[in-house]
Amino acid sequence: MRAAIALVSGALFGAGLHISGMTDTTKVRGFLDIGGAWDPTLAFVMGGAMLPMIIAWRLTAERTPVAGRAFPAPPRSEITRPLVLGSVLFGIGWGLVGLCPGPALASISYGGWQGALFLAAMLTGMWAVPPLRRLLDSRQRAS
Amino acid sequence: MPIDWIWGLAGGLLIGTAGAVLLLGTGRIMGASGMVGGLVDGSGTDKATTAAFLVGLIGTPAVMSLAGWQVSTQATTFPWLLVLGGLCVGIGTRFANGCTSGHGVCGMSRLSMRGFVATAAYMGAGVLTVTALRLGLGL
């Protein structure tokens, strides 16, 4: 049941990324290029995506998921260094190529060698984070 | 192009609906980096659900483009840019514990302070990067 729901959700997500044009790197980089030929499409994608989610979060009050135990706990509020520095690093990579994780996956079938190379590097980076984090933690303890 | 924003809005509504279906159906927050990252580094739980989500995420655009609805992707052809960009996105999203879908779509819609801060940070860094590339290298 959970897998079937997730399949439907993933399919909607993939279709949404495809239709919105967010798998097109020129659109994403065009949105970030505010001093150049600015392309506002991403703002509409973001706004459109938040509307159903605002409703969904309201519906979670005093309910349980259809197939699952509980809804996520209230969001944490502490602003940590990994959150900020990780997001900055992500933003740099996003700006360099114009792909974030969702569209990088969604465009596997037609992204060509460029998409494949980006995805391979992205997955390598993700795979390297747990050992990287252990290294940083041990350095911090030593100093 | 004048009608691009309509497709953007329509696609965005679908993306938000996807997040709503996953949240109300399974109690999980839809985040592309968290899902694929959890599978890649082995830290993820609920692996069957995650795998099913990824099948849908990759399969639908594949079917759509096979059926003739193609989207142009014009990623840079510089391999060093692709590798550097991919590494930054992979490492950054795992340290930040989320990306555009998790922090942006799902986080900001529940007024999460971490979601707002993360989104401001990656948007700001993205704007600076694109501007620097255009002014510095003409890319």
- Over the stretch A57-97, which tens digit does the pLDDT of each residue have? 999 998 999 998 899 999 998 999 999 999 999 999 999 99
B102 at the A interface (CB within 8 A)? no
Q: Do A75 and B113 touch (CB under 8 A)?
A: yes
Complex ipTM: 0.96
Question: Residue A62: left (phi > 0), alpha (psi -120 to 50), or beta?
Answer: left
Q: pTM score, two decimals?
A: 0.95
Size of interface A-B (CB pairs under 8 A): 489
Q: Which residue has the tokens 């255009």?
A: B134
Residue A118 CB coordination number (10 Å): 31
Query: Nearest residue of A to residue B1 by CA position?
Result: A39
The beta-carbon neighbor of B64 closest among A15, A22, A100 is: A15
> What is the span of the domain harbouring residue A17?
2-142
- Choose the weakest-confidence range: A113-117, A135-139, B124-128: A135-139
**Mean pLDDT of the A105-127 span:** 97
Name the pLDDT band for B1 (thresholds 50, 70, 90).
low
**Mean pLDDT of the A102-123 span:** 97
Residue B72, pLDDT score: 86
pLDDT per position as a tens digit, B49-84: 999 999 999 999 999 999 999 888 889 999 999 999
Name the pLDDT band for B3 (thresholds 50, 70, 90).
confident
Residue B2, pLDDT score: 63
The beta-carbon neighbor of B74 closest among A25, A60, A83 is: A25
Candidates B40, B128, B33, B113; CA nearest to A128 is B40
User: How many domains does chain A divide into?
Assistant: 1
Give the CA distances from residue B129 to residues A20, A113, B53, B126, in Å, rounded to whole numbers and listed in that order: 23, 23, 31, 5
